[in-house]
Structure 1
Amino acid sequence: MLRRKKFKLRVLTFTILSNDANKVVTRLRVPRIGIIFMFLLALVPIFLLAYFIETSMDQQAKNEQLVTKLELKTNKAEVLQAQVDQMEEEKVQVEQKIEKLNEMESELQEYITALPEEASGGIDIPIDKADINTNSDGTALSILDSTNWLTSYKETLANIDEVNHKLQYLPTKWPTDPETISSHFGIRNDPFNATPSVHTGTDFGAPTGTPVYAGADGTVTKAERYGGYGKTIIVHHSGTYKTLYAHLSEMKVSYGDSVKKGEIIGLIGNTGRSTGPHLHYEIIKNGEPIDAEEYLNNFNDTNN
């Protein structure tokens, strides 16, 4: 009996019945361990599928992270490339400015003798004959062998710096572009009544909205409607010079503003006593209007 119980525990019997009563009943005896094995075998694909799904999701997450990193790297590369391109452009601009400065330095030497009295200077380095040493045989030593020339050289550099500083306060910048003069300084027929009159400025013909530039560094002392001048700006440059910009359509500065030479301060218009769009420009020296063309023509190339 014990053996039969042990045998029953280890074996599962499956009985197959038929609808035909004459057929023998079929019994299948399957060891319990086989059933367990088959059950475990059936679980293997399920575990493999779950593992595959989990692995795929993990791989997909890693791929998304890699794509995100790649996009970040690509964006950084594009930013760096843009910075490199900008630096290349800035390099070209710097080289152009250096070339322009070299040209201006050469031209400054040519124009230096034409400076007004209040902006005089020089580039020669004066030396005394006593500064030129001689050899024992009486021949002259090079001035470069003497230390006295250094003092003169430093004085000359200081003088050039002073000239450059004063140039910033001289109204030598053309007040608009293009540089088209429609009426000169001096005697002319009044455009309204055709009678002789004194024109105290220089007129520049240009369309409404054309930029107007400050002729030199200075402080705005007027920015308002000014009688027949219409919208007017007056800039005080020093104790000697003022400049006046009249008939403007728009004023870009206000009273008390500091401006730099070449800075846009307004736009050409047709306000006030005017027959058409233009800029009426005056240089006033020690309270008296003077011919602006003498300053503009002498320094035209150095102030564009």
Structure 2
Amino acid sequence: MIQKANENERLQSRVNELNQQLNTQQLTFEKDRRDIERQLAELRSIEEQMIELINQLNVDRAASLSSNNVPDKVGLVKSSELKINRPYSAIKQEVSGLVASYQMAVSQLEEVNRDLKKTPIHWPAASETVSSHFGYRTDPFTNTGSFHSGIDLAGPLGTDIYVAGDGIIEFAGYQGAYGYSILVDHGNSYKTRYSHLNEVKVKKGESVTQGQLIGSMGTTGRSTGVHLHYEVIKNGKHIDPFPLMTFLQNAFNE
């Protein structure tokens, strides 16, 4: 009888031990489940940040890219796609890795975004009509060959003119053959010039942001008609503005 009582006591102790282990495992599983849910929520938040950053790269301008050309997702692994027939600890490790990789991607996108904001890639006028390209051409005044240091966009008098990148206004006023003109220093080896303006809406020393309205199209200075003469200067040398002006369109159409 005593032996049977001892056996029952031993079995009851074992049952209690197993119940305690089961409760501990249940608590661990519940904690892991909550951690996974929290991490997945963090992933969704990071995905939203990435989409917003990507959308910011699609700089608004007249007749520019439609929002349909901008990616609306970044390939985030959804919770329904995770293999759940595995220990929670393995799922947690995978999700933790995803969080870290997406956080790094957000950081890199933010850096790219900051650089692009200072780079003159915004189309500089509310007109798509290119009337004269960069390079050698026949001078409209002398009818002889000459170098054209920028690109001309034609449009109605008063057409809006936008700054192509973040920067500081280095010059704003009347400048001889350029007429009313604006020179912007973007602080990263780039400068841009907007000439033959009808109106200047900024002042020297003013900070401007990419896409900001800075003036209106005119025909002041040495000009044969209403247009914007737009120049991009890199490290003190004039370069063809067109590749920069179409950078976003080319990037998103690839």
Tell me the TM-score normalized by structure 2: 0.62
- The SS at the match of 1:164 is helix
Structure 2 gaps of 5+ residues are 1-51, 59-66, 76-85
Query: 1:220 touches 1:254 (CA, 8 Å); kept in 2?
Result: yes
Q: Distance in 2 between matches of 1:184 and 1:155?
A: 40
1:256 equivalent among 205, 224, 249: 205
Query: 1:247 touches 1:269 (CA, 8 Å); kept in 2?
Result: yes
What is aligned with 2:215?
266
1:290 equivalent among 232, 239, 253: 239
What is aligned with 1:188?
137
Identity over aligned residues, as a percent?
A: 40
1:206 equivalent among 136, 155, 161: 155
Report deviation, 1:287.
1.3
Distance 1:277 1:102, change over 3 A: closer
Instruction: Kindly tell me the number of residue pairs found equivalent between the two proteins.
Output: 179
The residue type equivalent to 1:299 in the other structure is: L
Q: Distance in 2 between matches of 1:162 and 1:179?
A: 30
Q: Distance in 2 between matches of 1:142 and 1:273?
A: 69
Deviations 1:206-248 (A, max 9, x none): 1221111111111100001112111110111123111100011
Distance 1:168 1:302, change over 3 A: farther
Residue correspondence of structure 1 range 1-304 to structure 2 within 5 A: 101=55, 104=58, 107=69, 145=94, 147-300=96-249
Deviations 1:125-182 (A, max 9, x none): xxxxxxxxxx9xxxxx889627445433322210001111111111111111121100
Query: 2:55 touches 2:70 (CA, 8 Å); kept in 1?
Result: no
The residue type equivalent to 1:171 in the other structure is: P
Distance 1:148 1:247, change over 3 A: same
Q: Distance in 2 between matches of 1:142 and 1:230?
A: 66
The residue type equivalent to 1:248 in the other structure is: L
Distance 1:208 1:102, change over 3 A: closer
Distance 1:250 1:102, change over 3 A: closer
Q: Distance in 2 between matches of 1:186 and 1:241?
A: 19
Distance 1:106 1:163, change over 3 A: farther
Tell me the TM-score normalized by structure 1: 0.52
Q: Distance in 1 between matches of 2:68 and 2:104?
A: 19
Distance 1:146 1:226, change over 3 A: same
Query: 1:174 touches 1:300 (CA, 8 Å); kept in 2?
Result: no
Deviations 1:15-72 (A, max 9, x none): xxxxxxxxxxxxxxxxxxxxxxxxxxxxxxxxxxxxxxxxxxxxxxxxxxxxxxxxxx
RMSD: 3.3
User: Which of the two has higher C-alpha Rg?
Assistant: 1
- The SS at the match of 1:299 is helix
The residue type equivalent to 2:241 in the other structure is: A
Query: 1:173 touches 1:300 (CA, 8 Å); kept in 2?
Result: no
- The SS at the match of 2:233 is strand
- The SS at the match of 1:197 is strand
- The SS at the match of 2:246 is helix
Q: Distance in 2 between matches of 1:249 and 1:209?
A: 7
Q: Distance in 1 between matches of 2:152 and 2:122?
A: 15
Query: 2:198 touches 2:217 (CA, 8 Å); kept in 1?
Result: yes
